[in-house]
Structure 1
Amino acid sequence: MLLYIVPTPIGNLEDFTFRSLRVLKEVDLILVENYNFSKKLLNFYNIKTHTKTYHIHNEHKIIPSILEKIKKGKKIALISNAGTPSISDPGFLLIKSCINASISVECLPGPTAFIPALVISGFPIHEFVFIGFLPKKKRKKKLENLSKENRTLIFYESPHRLVRTLNDLKYFFGLEINIVICKEISKIFQKTLRGNIEDIILYYKTQKKILGEYTLIISKKNNN
C-alpha cells in the first residue's frame, strides 16, 4: 500500500523528472488540486491517467475513500498546482491519514520555489527558517517572534499583499536587514531584486501593477 507525492514544475514544464513522469503514467489515479491548472502539464506529457480533485475544501470528505482505494491495491499519486504537495499546498492531512492507516508514503524529489531563491540569495544557508505565507490571524505576534531570529528567513507572498508585508518586515525587523525577492521562479518573467528594505519598498511602491508569485529571503546585515 503506497501513496506517491509527486512534485510538479513551478514554471517551466521541462523541470520534471523522468521518474515523476513514469509514476504519473503508471498509477491508477492522480489527485489534482485543480484539474484545469494541471491539465496543461498532463497534456504536455501525454499523461492519460484518470484524475480526481483533491483540495482543502473537500479533503476531509474524500480522504476515507482514497484510503480505501489504496488498501484495495490502487496506486495513487498526489500533485498540487505547482511544486511539492503539502508545502504551502494541500497534502498534509492526506499524508498524516495514510501514516495513521499504516499506508506508506513516498515523496519524489522535485521543484519547490524556496530552494532556488535561497541558494541564489547569497545569504547564509547553513541554517534557515521556512515560514511560507504569514498567517492572517496573529500576524503581528508571529512577526514579533521572528524578529528575534538570527537565521535566514524565507517567506512566500502574493502580489496584492507584497507591499504590506514589506512594510511589516521593516517595522518589526528595522533597517538592519537585507532582502532578496525572487519573482516567478523558472517562468518567463523571472526576476530577482536585492537590496535594503527601504529601497525594495520604494521600488514596489512605484510599480503601476504588481503581478506574479514572490519568494522573500531576509537576513540580518551582521550575518552577511
Structure 2
Amino acid sequence: MSKTDESPSSGILYVVATPIGNLADITLRALDTLRSVHFIAAEDTRHTRKLLSHYDIHKPLVSYHAHNAEERGPELIDRLRQGEKIALVTDAGTPAISDPGGLLVTQALEAEVEVTVIPGPAALIAALVVSGLSTHPFAFLGFPPSRGKGRRRFFTSYAAVPMTLILYESPQRLQRTLEDILDSWGDRRISVARELTKKHEEIFRGTVAEALEYFSENVRGELVLVVQGAQEKNEPEVLEEDWKEELGRLISVTNLSVKEATEKIYSQYHLSRRVVYQEALKIKKT
C-alpha cells in the first residue's frame, strides 16, 4: 500500500541519486526534490553540504549512516508518518547500493510510507559501460570482506559465476584483492575504474596480472573493479587424484621447488594457486 502526495497522514521518502564526483552530474529533478523536501538525511552531512551549497540549496541536514542507522531510522519513520517529506542521499551515487539506505527503504515500506526514487548516477553502472566487458548479465558484489574465512569464502563462491562481476574496493586493499582474484578466479580480463567523473579519472583495461603490475605503486581515489565472468570449459573434468599425483611426481622425482611445481600444476589444470601450493607443502614435508 502507498500514499499519494496529497495524503496528509503520511509523508514521502525520496531516494535521491547524487553525483559520484563531478557536481554537474545531477538531474534537474533531483535538484527540485532537494529544494522541496522538509529535510535531507545524508550519509555524511559535511559532504552533502558542499553539494547543496554549490546549488544554493538551504535545507536542514540529518545524519544517517552505518553507525547510527538503527537508532536514527525509527526517528525518520516517525517524521514520515507525521507527513514530512524526506530526501535520502548517500555520499556519492544512488542510495541503498553500498550504504544503509536499503534499511530505511524497507522500514518505510513496512510503515506503509510512500517511497519514490529520483534516479541518477551509480558508480557500478558507469564503470560497467566503459569496461569493454559484457554488460549483461552482470552481478554486483559490493566490497569483499576484509579478512578471514568470509573473504576466502567470498572469492571461492563467485569463482564459477559466468556473468561479469563488479566489485568496489579501497585503494589500500586493491593489491590484495587483485592477488585474490588472480589466485581464485584466474588471469581474466579486468577493468579498474578510478576516480570516475573526476579530474583524474582513469580506466585501466587488461588482465588481472597486468593490473597487479600497473597498480603496484600507491593508489588513490575511489575504485570500481569490473571482472570478466567465468568461461565455460570444454576440457574434461580434472580428477583430484590426477593432479595430486602429478604434483607429487614433480616434487619427488624431478626435484622441482614447491613454487615451480605449483605453477606447473596451476597452468596445466587451471586450479587455485592457493590449493595447489598448500598440497605441495604437504608433499614436501613427507
Higher relative contact order (CA 8 A, sep 6+): 1
Is 1:109 the equivalent of 2:142?
Answer: no
- For normalisation by structure 2, the TM-score amounts to 0.75
Unaligned runs of 5+ in 1: none
Q: Deviations over 1:110-135 (max 9, x none)?
A: 11101111111111112000001012
* Distance across 1 between alignment mates of 2:26 and 2:137: 28
1:28 aligned partner = 38
2:242 aligned partner = none
Alignment-mate amino acid for residue 91 of structure 1: G
Identity, in percent, stands at 39
Is 1:85 the equivalent of 2:90?
Answer: no
Structure 1 segments of 4 or more deviating over 2 A?
Answer: 220-223
2:130 is paired with a residue whose SS is helix
Instruction: Identify the match of residue 210 of structure 1 among 195, 219, 229.
Output: 219
Is 1:142 the equivalent of 2:150?
Answer: no
- For normalisation by structure 1, the TM-score amounts to 0.95
CA-CA distance at 1:196 after TM superposition: 1.1
Instruction: Identify the match of residue 165 of structure 2 among 143, 153, 157.
Output: 153
Instruction: Identify the match of residue 189 of structure 1 among 200, 222, 226.
Output: 200
* Distance across 2 between alignment mates of 1:127 and 1:187: 27
Alignment-mate amino acid for residue 220 of structure 2: L
* Equivalent residues of 1:124, 1:152 under 8 A apart: yes
Q: Deviations over 1:155-201 (max 9, x none)?
A: 010000000000000000112x1011110100011001111111110
* Equivalent residues of 1:34, 1:81 under 8 A apart: yes
Alignment-mate amino acid for residue 120 of structure 1: V
Q: Deviations over 1:19-68 (max 9, x none)?
A: 00000000001011111111110000011011111111111112222111
Structure 1 or 2, whichever has the larger Rg, is 2
| Larger CA deviation: 24-33 vs 62-71 | 62-71
Alignment-mate amino acid for residue 213 of structure 2: L
CA-CA distance at 1:90 after TM superposition: 2.4
Alignment-mate amino acid for residue 211 of structure 1: R
CA-CA distance at 1:220 after TM superposition: 4.5
Alignment-mate amino acid for residue 164 of structure 1: R
> Going by fraction, where is strand more abundant, 1 or 2?
1
* Distance across 1 between alignment mates of 2:65 and 2:229: 37
> Going by fraction, where is helix more abundant, 1 or 2?
2
Q: Deviations over 1:42-98 (max 9, x none)?
A: 000011011111111111112222111111111111111111111112201111110
* Equivalent residues of 2:161, 2:230 under 8 A apart: no
Task: Count how many residue pairs are aligned between Structure 1 and Structure 2.
Answer: 220
Q: 1:29 to 1:203 in 2, by over 3 A?
A: same
Unaligned runs of 5+ in 2: 1-10, 233-286
| Larger CA deviation: 130-139 vs 68-77 | 130-139
2:262 aligned partner = none
Is 1:219 the equivalent of 2:228?
Answer: yes
* Equivalent residues of 1:80, 1:90 under 8 A apart: no
Is 1:49 the equivalent of 2:55?
Answer: no
Q: Over aligned residues, Cα RMSD in angstroms?
A: 1.3
